[in-house]
Amino acid sequence: MLDSSSTCLMQRSTGVAEVTISARGLRRLFQRGSAKALLPHVRGMPEIVFLNTSGGLTSGDRLTYKMTLEAGARAVATTQAAERAYRADQGMAEVDVHHRVGAHGWLDWLPQETILFDRAKLRRRTVIDLSAEAGCVMLEAVVLGRSAMREVVTDLQFSDIREVRRGGKTILIEPFVQNSDILALGARSALLSDARAFATMALCAKGAEDAVETVRRALDVEGVEGAASGFDGKCLVRLLAADAWPLRQQILKLMTVLRRGAPPPRVWQI
């Protein structure tokens, strides 16, 4: 029998999914544990769908998603559904995402939302390594609880670092931290105001600055506050919303703009 001072160690989820795509198609697929990768049959650019079969993240879970696009390869990568980070009482969950894009290749990294529940603890790092003349579109969207369930997030430890490199040199880095101390500042803080859903989208490619005006005209979904800027071969978009649904609709609209009319990944349309 456990006394009140005992700690019950729960089973942890670990997984690795790695995919290599050449200009002709799939070269390698490796899966272990709860991390999987699916390649649905679609027209146009290949789609890779990463998923976590454990159903969510909590203390001690470890997930790794990796993709390599060889020279000239183009692909879209996403996740099967919104990732959920649940209450964690025994340390951080960790997610490592690392994609490499060869010369003249292109990657659209468009994962679905991450939903953070009260008392979640999540550390995530996303790195996209671009070779010369390669490009990418990157998305990260986060939701603080489910408004339809009247969930309020007051206790949280969330660290999210997103980085894009070209030729080994960092061209975009976004370290984001959201913890209980910041949440305690309340709705008047300068961080998120009263938003509970937020996202960053980035286009990294030669001439990406030219997309800024078109993106700004597309920032018209009611209930979403957005801004766009362009500099040094990047177009960066930031979005805030009081709820996940309007944010998702704005993201879908911006996907079409940043991807030059290409439809969203199949799993985003379900």
Residue 224 lies in a domain: no
Residue 252 lies in a domain: no
Confidence at 187, pLDDT banded by 50, 70, 90: very low
The whole-number average pLDDT for the span 72-76 is: 97
What's the whole-number average pLDDT of the chain?
Answer: 90
Taking the mean position of all CA atoms in its chain, how far away is CA 31? 20
Give residue for tokens 């805030």: 240
**Which of helix, strand or coil describes residue 170?**
strand
The type of residue at 31 is Q
| DSSP label at residue 87 | B
DSSP conformation letters of 172-185: EEEEEEEEHHHHTT
Give the rounded percent of residues in the chain with a pLDDT score beyond 90.
78
Residue 209 lies in a domain: no
The whole-number average pLDDT for the span 75-89 is: 94
CA distance 80 to 64: 15
Cβ(224)–Cβ(239) below 8 Å: yes
Cβ(81)–Cβ(109) below 8 Å: no
Confidence at 207, pLDDT banded by 50, 70, 90: very high
Q: What is the CA radius of gyration of the chain?
A: 19
Residue 199 lies in a domain: no
Cβ(197)–Cβ(224) below 8 Å: no
Per-residue burial over 78-113, b = 16 or more CB atoms within 10 Å of its CB, e = otherwise: bbbbbbbbbebeeebbbbebbbbbbeebbbbbbbbb
* 236 pLDDT above the threshold of 90: yes
Joined tokens for residue 55: 């159903």
- Into how many domains does the chain fold? 1
CA distance 165 to 145: 32
| Residue pLDDT, tens place only, 95-144 | 999 999 999 999 999 999 999 999 999 999 999 999 989 999 999 999 99
Measured at the alpha carbon of residue 237, what is the angle toward residues 231 and 238, in degrees to the nearest 5? 130
| Residue pLDDT, tens place only, 18-29 | 999 999 999 999
| DSSP label at residue 187 | T
* 169 pLDDT above the threshold of 90: yes
**What is the reported pLDDT for 7?**
53
**Which of helix, strand or coil describes residue 244?**
helix
Residue 166 lies in a domain: yes
Residue 247 lies in a domain: no
Residue 179 lies in a domain: yes
| Burial of residue 224 (number of CB atoms within 10 Å: 0-12, 13-18, 19+) | buried
Cβ(169)–Cβ(235) below 8 Å: no
Residue 24 lies in a domain: yes
* 8 pLDDT above the threshold of 80: no
* 256 CB-near residues (< 8 Å, 6+ apart): 262, 263, 264
Give residue for tokens 């003249």: 104
Give residue for tokens 């002709």: 24
Which domain does 165 fall in, by range?
15-192
